[in-house]
Amino acid sequence: MNNLNLTLSNLIGSRICHDLISPIGAINNGLELIELKGDQVSSEMSLIEQSCAAAAARIQFFRIAYGTALDGQIISYHETVRIINAAIQSERLIILWHPKDDLPRRE
């Protein structure tokens, strides 16, 4: 794959992640407003909350893993661990990688 195709696929991946995370965030915000209103949270609402959180975590992981990054852009060790831990909550995804320091985003 040449450099132009790689850049294009990284940009497309980033755009897809960006476009998917917005409606998921809106659903989460709506659920929070319903809870603040004082309505009782049903098991169906809890399922929606859990599904939104899992989808948002996976999208954030995929955005970091496959999205575009600028030269010199760094992701901290703590942010890396937080993103990985959130993404593997479903137990359907297993990651065998343990970063020890901050990393360039391109790695």
Q: pLDDT per residue over 38-71, tens digit each?
A: 877 788 888 888 888 888 888 888 888 877 777 7
Query: What's the confidence (pLDDT) of residue 90?
Result: 63
Query: What's the confidence (pLDDT) of residue 26?
Result: 92
Rounded Cα distance between 18 and 24, Å, is 10
Rounded Cα distance between 65 and 76, Å, is 14
Q: pLDDT per residue over 57-66, tens digit each?
A: 888 888 888 7
The mean per-residue pLDDT over the stretch 5-25 comes to 83
DSSP 25-85: HHHHHHHHHHHHHTPPPPHHHHHHHHHHHHHHHHHHHHHHHHS---TT-EE-HHHHHHHHH
